[in-house]
Structure 1
Amino acid sequence: MNTPAEPPSHLLSIAVSTPAHSALGDLLSYASAAPLPPGTLVRVPLGSREVLGVVWDAPPDGGAPLPEGVAPRAIAGVLEGLAPLDAPWRRLVQFAARYYQRSVGEVALAALPPQLRELGPEQLARRLRRAPAPSSPATAAPEVVPSPEQAHAMAAIEAGPGPFLLFGSTGSGKTEVYLHCIARALAADPAAQALVLVPEINLTPQLEARVRARFAPLYGEAAVVSLHSGMTGPQRLRSWLAAHAGQARIVLGTRMAVFASLPGLALIVVDEEHDPSYKQQEGARYHARDLALWRGHDQGARVILGSATPSLESWHASSPATPGDARSGRYQRLSMPSRIGAGELPQVRIVDMGQQPRGSAFSPPLLAAITERVQRGEQCLVLLNRRGFAPVLHCHACGWKSDCPHCSAHQVFHKSDRTLRCHHCGATSRVPRACPSCGNLDITPIGRGTEQLEEQLGSLLRNVVVGPQGRAARVARIDADTTRAKGALEEQLAHVHAGEVDVLVGTQMVAKGHDFRRITLVAAVQPDGALFSSDFRAPERLFALLLQAAGRAGRDAHYVAAQGSPPEMWIQTWHPDHPVYAALRRHDWPSFADQQLAERAGAGMPPFAWQALVRADASTQEAAQGFLTAACEAARAAGLPGGEQVHLYPPVPLAVQRVANVERAQMLLESGSRTALQRFLAAWQPLLHAERARHRGLRRWLIDVDPQAI
C-alpha cells in the first residue's frame, strides 16, 4: 500500500522576478514540505510559468496574512548541490532594492547568471558534475619593485580601514597598487576573495591578462575569473559558480559583478571609479561604485577607488572633514602624481579653430605634427566621440534632413555600407539617390564622425613615408561599428600594440585604460559640444575624457626619450579660453574639481543635494507629462513623509523625447536630505501605481535614484 505524500506544511517567503511595476510586493509566499534555509535557490510556479526563486528571510512581523480561502502554491523543486546565497549577499540585494526603489525579487534574480535562471534541479546537478577541478599552482611570479609613491599608497592601504581614493595621474602605476593589495589580502587568508571592477568590457581582457600573469602561478588558472555581459551564458555561469563556491579567488568584471556571490570577500577595487558606465541604465538603475562602497562597509572588506579624474562625489568625500558637511572626510585620499619611470605628462596644445581655414577637419599645425610623428615611426591617436561618417544628410534645396521616422533624432550616415542608421532605435535604411522630398540629387553630409576622419586622414597621409622601412602610413579606426564581431576589438588592439597602425581614430572606448606604448600624440578634434550641454555634469565628464585621452600619450618613458620629443595632447576648439581647457593645459584636476564643487555648492546640486528622476514613457507626450503632473499633485495632496524637504520640478520632455515611437518625459526631484528623499519615494510608490491605472496612454514609468544624466 502506498503511503500518501506528506502535504507541504512550511510557509516560505521567496523572492521572484515579478513583472515590472506589478505591485505584487517584494516577496511571495509558497509552501514547502521541509524547511529551507534563506538563500536556497528553488523553482516555483508563477502564473502559468515556472521560474527561479530565492528563499528569503522571513519578515520580522511575519508578513501580511494570506487572504481567507487562499492556499499557497507549493514550490516545484530545490536546486540542490548549491550552497545557499549567504546573508551578506541578501543584505546587499535588500539594500539595493530599497535604495533604488525596485522589488527585492527583481534585483536578486537580475543579479544571478541568466543561464542559472533557466536551469532545473536535474540540469544544475549535471552542470555541477561537469565543473572543472581547481588547477594546482605553480611557482610564484617575481615581485615588482614599487616606486616611492606606490609604496606609500600600499602602506597606507594596509594600515587603515578605508575607503581609499587612489588619485593617480595616468601612467602612475595604480594597477600595480591594486595587484599588491590583492596579493596581501589573499595571502593573509586562504579563503579570501577580491573583486575588481572595470567600467567597460574592452578593459577586462587586458587587465585579466595582467592579473593572471601575477596570480595564476600562485593559485592556479581557475583562481581568476571574469564576469561581464560579453561572455556566453555557460561562461558566465561557470565563473559565477566558481566565485560562489570560493574556488575563484579573484573576480574581474563590469558593473554587474558587484552582485557576484563572494563568501570570502576581503577587497574591492573600483578602477576608473568616475566612469558613468558604472551606472545601470535599464531595470534597477543601481550605481556599482556606490554599491561596492556599501558592500565593503557591510562585509568589512577594504575598498579602493582609483582614478586620474575622480568623480566630484568621491573627490568631495575625500576632502578634509568640514563641520556641518557629513559627506566630506569619509574617504582617505592617496595621491600619486608622478608617472612610472620618470615619464612626463603630455604637453597640451590648444588650437583656436577661429584662426584656421574654414571647413578643415584638421588644422595645418595639427596635421604637420601628426605627419612629423608618423614619419619618425611614432603612433598618434585621434579622438572624436561620434561614430559614423556624418551625423546627418541634408538637402540644401528644400531643407530635408535624414530624420529617423521613429525617433526625434537624425539617422546617421554610414558611408562604408551606404546606410542611414538611427543610433537610438536601430532603424536602418539605404542612402537615397536623391532627396526624398524634392528630388534634388545634391544631398550632402553635415558634421563629422570617426569614419570620415579615417577617410580624410588616409588621404592626407597617403604620401607620408614611415620610418627607415619606407612604407606608407596606415590609418585604422576603432569604434562600436568596427568591433561588433566577436574578438574584433582584441584583434585590432593587437595590431596597434604591434606597431602595425600609425594613426588610430577612435571614440572614447580607446581613450581610457589602454596601455599604448608607442603613442606620443593624442588629438581631440571636436570636443566643444559638451561645453554647453544642459547636463550639469558635462564639463566634469569632458575634462575627464580629455585628460584620460591625454594619458594614452608618452606612457613609455624610455621610448619617448629615445624619440627625442615630448608627448603632446592637441585640442582643436572654437573656445580656447574656456576654463576646462585652461585647467587641462595644466593637468590640474584638483583646481578644476574644487571650482566645479564651489559652483555646485552655490547651486545646491550633487554632491550637496540628492536627486531622483521619475520618467514616463507613453504613446503621446501629453499622456507622459499628464501622468507625471497627476502623480505630483497626488503626492502633494497626500502630504507624504519627507515631502516638505523635497522639491518637485515640473515635467519636461527628454532631450530625445521620442524613441521607437514612444514619447518620453521626466520630472526631477531634489532634496537636501537623502533620508527625506528616500522616505518620500517609498511612500509615493502606491500613488504612482494608482495613477498608472488612470492613464491609458502610459506604457511604463520608472524611478532613477541618483541619476547620472539629466
Structure 2
Amino acid sequence: MILHHIALNVPVSDGLFTYRHPTALPAGCRVAVPFRGKTVAGVVWASGVESSIAVEKILPVQTAFTEEARLPERWLELVGFVARYYHYPTGQTVFAALPAGLKEPKPVEMPQPPLFYALNQSGRVQTPPPQRFHKKHALWQALFSDGLEMAALKRIHPQAPKLVQEWAARGWIQALNAAAPKLNPSEHMPNAAQQAASQAVQAACSTFQPFLLYGITGSGKTEVYFDVMAEVLAAGRQVLFLLPEINLTPQLLKRVRARFAGVPAAVLHSQTAAGRRTQDYLRALLGQARLVIGTRLAVFTPLPELGLIVVDEEHDGSFKQDNELRYQARDLAVWRAKQSGCPIVLGSATPSLESWHKAQSGAYRLLELPQRAHTAARPPQVEILNTGRLKLDNGFSPQALKLLQQNYRQGGMSLVYLNRRGFAPALFCGDCGHVSGCPRCSAKMVLHQRARQLRCHHCDYRSPIPYKCPECGNQDLTAVGQGTQRVEETLRALMPEAAIARVDRDSTAHQHNWADLYRRIADNGIDVLVGTQMLAKGHDFARLNLVVVLNADGSLYSADFRAPERLFAELMQVSGRAGRAQTAGKVLIQTRLPEHPVFAAVKAQNYPAFAEAELAGRELLQMPPFAFQTAIRADAAEVADAMDFLNDIKSVTEPFIGADVSVFGPAPMFMVRLAERERAQVFLESADRRSLHRAVSLWVQVLQQYRDSKIRWSVDVDPAEM
C-alpha cells in the first residue's frame, strides 16, 4: 500500500489527510475518500508519503478518477503559494480554486475537442450551389476556410448540420479536431502611442515582464490588449483576460467575438451556470479554450500554454476577495505570469498606487497612452461646484438641473452618478431623531420605495417600511439623503418627456438587464442614466456628453487612508464616460469640500500629480506601498469577547515578534456589528515582508490552539479595507 496526502475541503491547519491506495496516484488526481462518515472529494497532493500510524489503520481511497485529466503541477504550485502567502489551509485553498463540478466526489465528463468542418480537395473543385440560394451558397463559401465549428456554420445557415452531412456523404467535407484561429483585422487604426505600447509588449512575449499600461479614459487600452492578444493567439499560446466586474463582460465579449470570431473562448464568472463553468474550466485545462475571460476567480484557471495575461481596470477593488480566502487576483496574476514566463499587462486610467510605485521604481515597465483614441475626442471639462451654502432639490443644485435640461433639449445623453442605490439612505423621525438601523449590523437601513422595504446593504436584512416611529409613535417619518430611486423620481418630475434609466444592483439583477440596456443606448433610447459604481468604469457610450456627480465627498469622511485614492479613481473613471466621441464632454461635481486636493487633481485630470502627492504622504507615514500590512480579525456575539480574544493572542505572541514588526490594536472595526456578530481587529505592519509573514505565521499557530466555538477569526494579508 502506498500512502498519499489528500487535500480536503476542511478548515484545519493544512487540510491534508493521509489515505492509502494500492498504486501510486499522481499529484493533481481527483479522488473520492471517506471522511467523518461520508464520502467527499479530494485532490492528491503528494504520494509515497510516510506516516507513524500503522498502514492498516489508514483509510483507503475509495475511487481514483484516473480517467480524468489531472490538475497540472503548475496549478498545484500556484495553490501552494496562495495557501502559504494568505495563511489559509491548503485543502480549502485547493477547493476555492475549483469549479463546483470538480468539488463533488463523482466523475465528470471530459469535454471533447470541437470538430471544425471545411471542404477537402475534392469538395473545392465542385460547382457551388447557385447564388439564388443565398444562405446555402454562403455556407459553401464559408467551408473554403481552414475550418469552422458547427455553431458558426449554423449562424450562416440554420440547416448547416443537414447540409454538411449530405456533402460529407459525397466525400466533399473533412472534419478536423483543430483549426487555425480566425483573427479578424482590427477596425481601428492605432495611433503612434498605441502602436508603441503594443510593440513593447510583443517584444517581450517569450519572457516574464510586467507592464503597467496607463492610459487616460478613452485612450484605447482595449485595442492595445487586442493587438497583443492576436499575436499571442496566432503563435498558438493561451490568453487570460481578467475583468473586475461581471457587468463589463457583455460589452467586452461583443468586441471579442468581432475580433476573435474563430478563437475557442471560455467565460468564467460567478453568474456562469455551474455545469458550464466546470466544462469551460476543463476546456482551458486541456488547451481547448485558447482565450479565457473572467472575473477574479478565473485567475485560478489552469492554462498549460499560457502566453499572456491582461488585467483590465487593475486598480479596481473587486479584484480583492473579501471573505474566506482573501486573495488579490491582480497580484496572483503577476505571480502566474512569472511562473509561466510570459508578459502581463495591467491597464488603468487610474492605476493603484501600489502598481504606480512599482512602475516608478522600475519593477514594472510603464507604457503611456496620453491622448484619446478618437481623434475628435478631448478630455472632459470638469467643474467643481461648492454646494455648502446652496439649497438643493433632492441632492441637485439649480446649476445641475439646468445643465441636465439643456443637454436633453440639445439631444445629448447625461449620466447622474451617486454611490448609493435605493430611494434614500435613511428613514428619520423628526420628533425624536430616531433613524431606522439594521438590527444585525452597525448600519442604517436604506429605504427602497418601490419594493416598500427597508434593506441593509451589508447583510441584506429586510423589513417592511414602518407606518410609525418605533420609539415615539410619530407617523410623519422622513426619507433623508439621496439614493438612485429618489434621484430617478426627481428627474422624471423635472423632465417628463425624457427617457430615464436607473442602473444599480437592484435594476440589473438579471443577465438580460445589461443586454437590454446596451440595446436601448445603441438605439438612442435613453436620455439620462442614473447610476452607481457599476456605470463608472469600462463602458463606452458615444452619445454621453454630460456627467453630474452628486454628494461626491461622502467617502472622504472615512477613517480609511485609501479613501482619497478610491474617490479620485471613482471621479476620474466616471468623468471619463463623457465626451468619448465627437461631442465635447462636461462634468459637474457637487461637493461641500471643494478645497480638498482630490477635487483639484480631478479638475486638472492629472493622475501623475495626484499619485506623486499621495505617495509622498504614504511614505512619510510608512503606509503601503512603503510597508506591508496584515489584519487579524475576530468576531463574537459581543465585541468585548472579540477584543479579549485578540488581547490574549497578542500577549502570547508579543515576546516572540521582532522589533521590525509593529502590532496595533486590538480595536473595534469601523462597522462593529455585521450580521449579528461584533468585530474587532489587530493590524500587523512591517517594512519587511518576510518579517511580517513570520509574525503572521506565529499568530496563526497560536490562534489554531485557542479553540473557542463562540469566536471566529480570519487573516487578511494586504487588506483593502480598514
Whether these two folds match at TM > 0.5 is yes
List gaps (5 residues or longer) in structure 2.
117-148, 150-178
Counterpart amino acid of 2:406?
A: E
Counterpart pick for 2:335 among 265, 272, 294: 294
Counterpart amino acid of 1:142?
A: P
Aligned partner of 1:459 in structure 2 is 493
Counterpart amino acid of 1:329?
A: G
Q: CA deviation at 1:382?
A: 0.7
Is residue 2:133 matched to residue 1:147? Answer: no
Instruction: Please show how residues 83-98 of structure 1 align to structure 2 within 5 Å.
Output: 83-98=69-84
Counterpart pick for 2:85 among 59, 82, 99: 99
Q: Secondary structure at the match of 2:74?
A: helix
Q: CA deviation at 1:94?
A: 0.6
Counterpart amino acid of 2:197?
A: A
Q: Secondary structure at the match of 2:202?
A: helix
Aligned partner of 1:338 in structure 2 is 371
| 1:84-112 per-position Cα deviation (integer Å, ceiling 9, x unaligned) | 21111111111111000001111111111
Q: Following the alignment from structure 1 to structure 2, what is the Cα–Cα distance between the partners of residues 524 and 158?
A: 39
Counterpart pick for 1:677 among 681, 692, 698: 692
Counterpart pick for 2:27 among 38, 42, 62: 38
Q: CA deviation at 1:303?
A: 0.5
Is residue 2:547 matched to residue 1:513? Answer: no
Q: Following the alignment from structure 1 to structure 2, what is the Cα–Cα distance between the partners of residues 206 and 78?
A: 42
| 1:511-535 per-position Cα deviation (integer Å, ceiling 9, x unaligned) | 1001111100111111111123100
Aligned partner of 2:581 in structure 1 is 556
| 1:390-437 per-position Cα deviation (integer Å, ceiling 9, x unaligned) | 111111112222111222211111111211111122221111112222
Q: CA deviation at 1:185?
A: 0.9
Q: Does the Cα contact within 8 Å between 2:384 and 2:590 map onto a contact in 1?
A: yes
Q: CA deviation at 1:208?
A: 1.6
Counterpart amino acid of 1:128?
A: M
Q: Secondary structure at the match of 1:670?
A: strand
| 1:282-335 per-position Cα deviation (integer Å, ceiling 9, x unaligned) | 11100000000011011102100000000000000000xxxxxxxx21000000
Aligned partner of 1:364 in structure 2 is 398
Aligned partner of 2:98 in structure 1 is 112
Counterpart pick for 1:633 among 651, 665, 669: 651
Instruction: Please show how residues 211-610 of structure 1 align to structure 2 within 5 Å.
Output: 211-217=256-262, 219=263, 223-319=264-360, 328-342=361-375, 343-358=377-392, 360-462=394-496, 472-557=497-582, 560=583, 566-610=584-628
Q: Does the Cα contact within 8 Å between 1:212 and 1:224 map onto a contact in 2?
A: no
Which piece of structure 1 moves more, 586-595 or 423-432? 423-432
Q: Secondary structure at the match of 1:623?
A: helix
Q: Does the Cα contact within 8 Å between 1:279 and 1:286 map onto a contact in 2?
A: yes
| 1:169-212 per-position Cα deviation (integer Å, ceiling 9, x unaligned) | 11111001111111111212x2x100000001111121122112
Q: Following the alignment from structure 1 to structure 2, what is the Cα–Cα distance between the partners of residues 199 and 548?
A: 14
Q: Following the alignment from structure 2 to structure 1, what is the Cα–Cα distance between the partners of residues 76 and 403?
A: 56
Which piece of structure 1 moves more, 513-522 or 38-47? 38-47
| 1:546-598 per-position Cα deviation (integer Å, ceiling 9, x unaligned) | 101011111123xx1xxxxx211110011112110101111100000010000
Is residue 2:8 matched to residue 1:16? Answer: yes
Aligned partner of 2:201 in structure 1 is 157
Q: Secondary structure at the match of 1:667?
A: strand
Q: Secondary structure at the match of 1:216?
A: coil
Q: TM-score, normalised by structure 2?
A: 0.88
Aligned partner of 1:185 in structure 2 is 232
Which piece of structure 1 moves more, 700-709 or 424-433? 424-433
Q: Following the alignment from structure 2 to structure 1, what is the Cα–Cα distance between the partners of residues 394 and 111?
A: 63
Counterpart amino acid of 2:592?
A: W
Q: Does the Cα contact within 8 Å between 1:29 and 1:72 map onto a contact in 2?
A: yes
CA-atom RMSD in angstroms: 1.7
Q: Following the alignment from structure 2 to structure 1, what is the Cα–Cα distance between the partners of residues 344 and 114?
A: 31
Q: Specify whether residues 91 and 570 from structure 1 end up closer, same or farther in structure 2 by C-alpha distance, changes over 3 A only.
A: same
Q: Does the Cα contact within 8 Å between 2:111 and 2:279 map onto a contact in 1?
A: no
Q: Does the Cα contact within 8 Å between 1:157 and 1:164 map onto a contact in 2?
A: yes
Q: Does the Cα contact within 8 Å between 2:40 and 2:105 map onto a contact in 1?
A: no
Aligned residues: 656
Q: CA deviation at 1:71?
A: 2.1
Instruction: Please show how residues 69-80 of structure 1 align to structure 2 within 5 Å.
Output: 71-80=57-66
Q: CA deviation at 1:69?
A: 7.7
Q: Following the alignment from structure 2 to structure 1, what is the Cα–Cα distance between the partners of residues 111 and 230?
A: 31
Instruction: Please show how residues 610-625 of structure 1 align to structure 2 within 5 Å.
Output: 610-625=628-643
Q: Following the alignment from structure 2 to structure 1, what is the Cα–Cα distance between the partners of residues 669 and 182?
A: 57
Q: CA deviation at 1:68?
A: 5.3
Which piece of structure 1 moves more, 591-600 or 156-165? 156-165
Q: Following the alignment from structure 1 to structure 2, what is the Cα–Cα distance between the partners of residues 398 and 461?
A: 36
Q: Does the Cα contact within 8 Å between 2:642 and 2:680 map onto a contact in 1?
A: yes
Q: Following the alignment from structure 2 to structure 1, what is the Cα–Cα distance between the partners of residues 356 and 112?
A: 47
Q: TM-score, normalised by structure 1?
A: 0.90
Q: Secondary structure at the match of 2:91?
A: helix
Q: Specify whether residues 139 and 97 from structure 1 end up closer, same or farther in structure 2 by C-alpha distance, changes over 3 A only.
A: closer
Aligned partner of 2:168 in structure 1 is none
Q: Following the alignment from structure 1 to structure 2, what is the Cα–Cα distance between the partners of residues 240 and 247?
A: 10
Q: CA deviation at 1:271?
A: 0.3
Q: CA deviation at 1:355?
A: 4.2
Counterpart amino acid of 2:351?
A: P
Q: Does the Cα contact within 8 Å between 2:181 and 2:234 map onto a contact in 1?
A: no
Q: CA deviation at 1:496?
A: 2.4
Q: Following the alignment from structure 1 to structure 2, what is the Cα–Cα distance between the partners of residues 474 and 29?
A: 64
Q: CA deviation at 1:213?
A: 1.5
List gaps (5 residues or longer) in structure 1.
1-8, 320-327, 463-471, 561-565
Which piece of structure 1 moves more, 575-584 or 25-34? 25-34
Q: CA deviation at 1:676?
A: 0.4
Counterpart amino acid of 1:663?
A: E
Q: Following the alignment from structure 2 to structure 1, what is the Cα–Cα distance between the partners of residues 572 and 686?
A: 32
Q: Following the alignment from structure 1 to structure 2, what is the Cα–Cα distance between the partners of residues 330 and 211?
A: 30
Aligned partner of 1:468 in structure 2 is none
Q: Following the alignment from structure 1 to structure 2, what is the Cα–Cα distance between the partners of residues 683 and 70?
A: 35
Q: CA deviation at 1:137?
A: 6.3
Aligned partner of 1:205 in structure 2 is 250
Q: Following the alignment from structure 1 to structure 2, what is the Cα–Cα distance between the partners of residues 129 and 583?
A: 52
Q: Following the alignment from structure 2 to structure 1, what is the Cα–Cα distance between the partners of residues 314 and 513?
A: 26
Counterpart pick for 2:715 among 672, 686, 703: 703
Q: Following the alignment from structure 2 to structure 1, what is the Cα–Cα distance between the partners of residues 183 and 339?
A: 33
Q: Does the Cα contact within 8 Å between 1:43 and 1:75 map onto a contact in 2?
A: yes
Q: Secondary structure at the match of 1:652?
A: strand
| 1:9-53 per-position Cα deviation (integer Å, ceiling 9, x unaligned) | 1111111111x2x33x34211111211111111112221222221
Which segments of structure 1 move beyond 4 Å, counting only runs of 4 or more? 129-134, 136-140
- Provide the identity percentage: 44
